Amino acid sequence: MQPTLSTGADGLELRWPDGTVGDFPYIWLRDTDPSGFHPQTGERIFDLTKVPLDLVPHEIKVMQDALLVTWTAGATPSRFDLDWIKAHRPGQARHDPAELVPVAWKADLGKDGVPRHDADRVLDSDAALAAWLRDTKRYGLSIVTGLANSTEAGIALARRVGHLRETNFGLTFEVVSRPDPNNLAYTSDALPLHTDLTNQELPPGYQFLHCLANEAEGGGSTFCDGVAVAEDLRAGDPDAFALLTTLSVPFRFQDRHTDIRSRKTIITLDGRGAVCEICFNAHLADIVDLAPATLKPFYRAYQRFMAMTRDPAYGIALKLTGGEMVVFDNRRVLHGREAFDPSTGFRHLHGCYVDRGEWDSRLRVLDRSLD
């Protein structure tokens, strides 16, 4: 499986017997030399400013398992493992164990289709933790069952992933009906489907809502998959989709202590054009400040998206019971609740967030030992 080497004026080519071709500019090889990384921290210590852009090696050799590049006569050559350099050839997407294909879902998933995982197993087993992380990331939603009846139990699960994301509502938050609410979550009103904290530069990633009590009449939870809604909008109304991916609108939350603002598109696409984020929260949408000519097309697209989130074709409803915790990607899956009557019983959810970065980091670290 040794590749054939061809050298050019500013780079070399390796052609493997399986047809893979790697094109390696010399400057990239110099910058990527494994000896240019700190032996303990793995960080790059090579200083790119110390070499000319048009450097050319003194000697290049392909050995049985390595490419050797000698930059100046007599110097120790840079040694690249051939398998490694094939996997890291320029233009080749890097393997990432945290990259999982989303399973877009609609109402037919049903509440029984939501992945369920047992709290004790997730706490005790790395394999169970990885399985739960993967399911939750693929569906954007899962339910953890069998939690102890204490606010600490949900937090312990969240910390199994990574550190909590603090917000202006605290490191954790209690979702109960309050006499002096600074947020609609703290009333007994119905909450239509939304994502949280769209007014933050980085809205929180995964949300954990541990149900400690849900005895009031009403108070069911509702969810819909923003990716499914957005993809149907793209197919059915490409103009509306285009506007919602390009027009950024202002969001704002303010109370006595804070005034946090950010602009967001309702739908965000990643570098490959896939829907990677939904920011949808009519409560936190500030007075829309788009130019008059843009306002009407925007409202048409926005109202259409909003109506789709309410369409029974997309939503699922479930009523959490004590000891259950729903976990969802707040930047993908919209959540809401039915109104409840606080005079008929206590409803108490305890929540926190862990950002996507910590989630993916945990998936990658677990992948090192489990696979």
C-alpha span between 22 and 77 (Å, rounded) = 20
Neighbours of 75 (CB within 10 A): 10
CB of 145 vs a copy of itself, minimal distance in Å:
28
Nearer to a copy of itself, 11 or 345 (CB): 11
Q: Which is nearer to a copy of itself, 214 or 262 (CB)?
A: 262
Closest CA to 333 of 252, 251, 277, 272: 277
Structure tokens at 285: 């949408």
Q: Which is nearer to a copy of itself, 27 or 62 (CB)?
A: 27
Closest distance of CB 360 from a copy of itself, Å: 7
Give the position of tokens 């119905």: 190
Output 101 or 307, the one with its CB closest to a copy of itself. Answer: 307
C-beta of 183: minimal distance to a copy of itself in Å? 6
- Closest distance of CB 175 from a copy of itself, Å: 14
Q: Which is nearer to a copy of itself, 27 or 103 (CB)?
A: 27
- How far apart, in whole angstroms, are the C-alpha atoms of residue 212 and residue 254? 28
Closest distance between a copy of itself and the C-beta of residue 106, in Å? 19
Shortest distance (Å) from residue 259 CB to a copy of itself: 4
Say if CB 282 and CB 252 are below 8 A apart.
no
Share in percent of the chain as helix, strand, coil (round to 5):
30, 30, 40
The number of beta carbons lying within 10 Å of the beta carbon of residue 95 is: 9
All residues at 6 or more sequence positions from 356 whose CB lies less than 8 Å from its CB, including other chains:
205, 206, 329, 331
Residue 96 vs 217, nearer CB to a copy of itself: 96
Rg of the chain (C-alpha set)? 26
